[in-house]
Structure 1
């Protein structure tokens, strides 16, 4: 289960990569714009504002997120991205911090590039910080003798093959005939206090761990991880904790017809 409230705790920090991604999509009058993994819908609404003439299609695999999006007035549906096929009028596809949850997402990108109409835009952003202390420490704790059995095989999201680098994604989509712009950005995020990094990953990477543990074990796991994270990300005297966060961006355009 996703908790939309926890996810939106750092809404401004989570929104910045989305806006920088969409800014590079130079579609003028798209017929249909799709938000793959719309979450609570707060960012999808900005897409509708940018392209008011377009049909906005939004979906997410989380019923909790879709319920939140619908409550905000967005027409969203519960759907797994692996089951989605673009309509013939789909001119823009946006996926923000979603595809890292799908191991076969590289094949999805290839398939979508081949299914989209000529001149369509495909834009995606994924976190690229799975080798950061925040995630390494969480994986190490989950794999320890103390927790491995209790977790029953569940583990925090992330590993060396979870996502690719910008150049690899650029190659992948260029091989499908697309023109591609790809880049990486490391945001040095200011967060409030030593527990902030734990709260950040609680809403995302630690979801599989939370689902596998009862309340008491979950609080114990969080307590142990919180101590390790406080050492890795020490707070400044003013209470601020710097949290470097790498993200990978790709904006591709399918081949336009030859005149």
Structure 2
């Protein structure tokens, strides 16, 4: 299956809401790491927050999207660099004190099977911290899945971008990390995001969940417009605007695991 093409500008249109979970993850990380890896750095805006938190650390952001890496270069500096890497196959070549991943692992099937390799590469006492969406049963995603599998669209979009089984339950993450000898803190939060503007939920998913569909239909503008119109109308019914905007609940899962010293 063709990897999705990312649009950094579209992704960053909701940067405040997308960055908030990373701040919450960051607040649970202790210590003073000197070498940090950000796996799935995207546009680099949250990687820059790592450098702000630990200005003496060497921070490297990794991503497999050329579009995102190009955008991230604006944050590069003497202690902050960006490199191409695919999380499905990436194995650290140097020891890190902190390995962090923000809203990436849901795109990596079987990512929990990579935990042993990543933890092995952590320095003693190092930390592995990540955040993933846990909203795959929300209307935004179930409507999209049903539409992809409908009679009209299944021949072109059946199975495209399906990630319903990509993210584990919180207890499964806790067990996996504890089995690997880590002291793990796992939790979940549902953010009641208040979005504004015309069709804001559609605008949101254009930056993330809808990317595989937009990539698959990229050579057919007429089909793209038709799919978006059908999806838009269904989202309007599922997420009606209120007096202050459109409430878009978003559940996220977090984990902070510390390796034994």
State the TM bucket, normalised to the shorter chain. over 0.9
Q: CA deviation at 1:47?
A: 0.5
1:134-173 map, 5 Å: 134-151=140-157, 153-159=158-164, 161-173=165-177
1:111 aligns with 2:117: yes
SS in 2 for 1:81: coil
Q: Please, what TM-score do these two structures have when normalized by structure 2?
A: 0.93
SS in 1 for 2:154: helix
Q: CA deviation at 1:168?
A: 1.0
> Of the candidates 81, 84, 91, which is equivalent to residue 78 of structure 1?
84
> Which whole-Å CA distance do the structure 2 matches of 1:100 and 1:82 have between them?
11
Q: Please, what TM-score do these two structures have when normalized by structure 1?
A: 0.93
- Give 4+ residue runs of structure 1 displaced > 3 Å after superposition: none
Where structure 1 has 5 or more consecutive residues not aligned to the other structure, the ranges are none
Where structure 2 has 5 or more consecutive residues not aligned to the other structure, the ranges are none
Which residue number in structure 1 is paired with residue 36 of structure 2? 33
> Which whole-Å CA distance do the structure 1 matches of 2:15 and 2:126 have between them?
29
> Which whole-Å CA distance do the structure 1 matches of 2:135 and 2:152 have between them?
25
Q: CA deviation at 1:89?
A: 3.3
1:48 aligns with 2:51: yes
Which residue number in structure 2 is paired with residue 101 of structure 1? 107
Which residue number in structure 2 is paired with residue 10 of structure 1? 14
Q: CA deviation at 1:243?
A: 0.4
> Which whole-Å CA distance do the structure 1 matches of 2:109 and 2:163 have between them?
10
Confirm or deny: 8 A CA contact 2:95 2:121 kept in the other structure.
no
> Which whole-Å CA distance do the structure 1 matches of 2:249 and 2:257 have between them?
26
**RMSD between superposed Cα atoms in Å:** 1.4
> Which whole-Å CA distance do the structure 1 matches of 2:107 and 2:177 have between them?
19
Residue correspondences, number: 252
Q: CA deviation at 1:223?
A: 0.5
> Which whole-Å CA distance do the structure 2 matches of 1:76 and 1:181 have between them?
28
More off after superposition, 198-207 vs 111-120: 111-120
